[in-house]
Amino acid sequence: MSDDAIPAATVILVRERSSGAPELLMVERAVDMAFAGGALVFPGGRIDAADEQLGSRIGSANAGARVAAVREALEETAIPVGLAPLPSPDVAASLQAQLLAGDELEHLLVPHGIELDLDALTPLARWVPRFHAKRRFDTLFFVARAPDGDWLPNTVESECTGAHWASASEVLERDQAGEVQLIFPTRRTLERLAQHTSFDEIVCDALDHPIEPISPWLDEVDGERFITIPEGIGYPVTREKLDGLWRG
């Protein structure tokens, strides 16, 4: 992780439908949050010391970040990912409440006979933007298949103001219409995901590209300034005009 950025993790839960593009779980951050307040994002947040400690005992690659992604999805939405066996909605809601009360994930799973299945999360990208005015994060993005069934997210005001399932194209259309706010990494990720028609395609895309830090830079083309990312790493759109860009 970058020394001057806050280590974080986020997970993109993908729910396939009988027809149409897969749906993604999106959460809306509370307006008064210091970073990206009011933005539509994927569940995620800081990697805590307890996440790192548990991850170090598990020993798999990026284990602390994976643990954080599992924990944050539960805290923000009560939708389980990376847990085996899959808890019921009632147990997941109970785990959410206990996590929000300050209990540690590791201690909560044991009474239910639940173990972490961190291989259920596939790394997609690592974003380290340098242009955020308030806080900088070094964030590992993961993708994971949503649990079977019609899981409705349960949000808590202290975490986010809402959550829902939508396809990548649907969120991008709402963004174009001015109905939602997206930060630069989220918009680029949605454009990438919108290229695919299944979870398996998304995973193949993730595995086909290296996980290297993506730090957008300022570029000038024909007198106009753009925020730019490298080409050839899976993103169909690699630049956006600086004027009007919301930096969270």
CATH code of 62's domain: 3.90.79.10
Residue 119 belongs to some domain of the structure: yes
Residue 88 has pLDDT above 60, yes or no: yes
pLDDT of residue 71: 98
pLDDT in tens, 3-61: 588 999 999 999 998 888 999 999 996 655 545 556 899 999 999 999 999 999 998 88
- Find the domain containing 88 and state its range: 6-214
- This prediction has a pTM of 0.93
Angle at 41 between CA 175 and CA 213, to 5 degrees: 105
Residues 6+ positions from 78 with CB-CB distance below 8 Å: 89, 92, 93, 95, 96, 153, 154
pLDDT in tens, 104-143: 999 999 999 999 999 999 999 999 998 655 678 999 999 9
Residue 228 belongs to some domain of the structure: no
Domain count of the chain? 1
What is the mean predicted confidence (pLDDT) over 65-88?
97
What is the mean predicted confidence (pLDDT) over 177-204?
96
What is the mean predicted confidence (pLDDT) over 145-166?
89
Residue 246 belongs to some domain of the structure: no
pLDDT of residue 156: 84
Residue 179 belongs to some domain of the structure: yes
Tell me which of 82-96, 129-143, 169-183, 223-237 is least confident.
Answer: 129-143
Between 174 and 2, residue with greater pLDDT: 174
Average pLDDT over the chain reads 91
Residue 1 belongs to some domain of the structure: no
Residue 16 belongs to some domain of the structure: yes
